[in-house]
Amino acid sequence: MVSTLMYVALSAILFVIGILGVTLRKSALMVFMSVELMLNAANLTLVAFANQWKSVDAQVMVFFVITVAAAEVAVGLALLVMIFKRKKTTDIDLMNTLRG
C-alpha cells in the first residue's frame, strides 16, 4: 500500500522542478510550461488527499484548477504571440516595459 505521503513527496519534487523551470529558463514559453507543471503538482496533492479522506470535494477543486489552467494558457499564449509579433523574441528579460 502506497501511503499518501509518497504522492505528496512526488508532488513536492515536481513542484520544485517547476519552480526551477520558472527561474532558470528564459523563454516565456518554457516559463509557461513550468507553471503548468507546478499546477499539476498541486493537483496531484489534492487528488492524493481526496483519496485519503474519501472525499470528492478535492477532485471537484482539481476540476476547477484544470479549467482555470486552460483559460490561463489560452490568454497567456495569445499575449505571448502578440508580444512576439512586436519584439520578435520570447525572452522574458527583454519584456521589461509595460507599453509594448
Partner 1 sequence: MDVLLFGIPAVVAIIGAIAMLLSRNAVHSALYLLLNFAAISVLYLLLQAPFLFATQLIVYAGAIIVLFLFVVMLLGAERDEDTPHANPWQNRGALVGGVLLLVELCLLYVYNPGTIPVAVDMDNAFAAPAEVAKALFTTHLLPFEIASFVLLTALIGVVVLHQRRS
Contact call for residues 42 and 7 (beta carbons, < 8 A): no
Residue 18 found at the interface with partner 1 (CB under 8 A):
yes
Residue 56 found at the interface with partner 1 (CB under 8 A):
yes
Residue 42 found at the interface with partner 1 (CB under 8 A):
no
To the nearest whole angstrom, how small is the minimum distance from the Cβ of residue 42 to partner 1?
11
Spacing of C-alpha 63 from chain mean position: 14
Rounded CA gap, 100 and 88, in Å?
12
Contact call for residues 32 and 76 (beta carbons, < 8 A): yes
Residue 16 found at the interface with partner 1 (CB under 8 A):
yes
Query: Which residues here bind partner 1, judged by CB under 8 A?
Result: 1-10, 12-14, 16-21, 23-27, 29-30, 32-34, 36-37, 40, 43-44, 47-48, 50-52, 54-57, 59-60, 62-64, 66-75, 77-82, 84, 89-91, 93
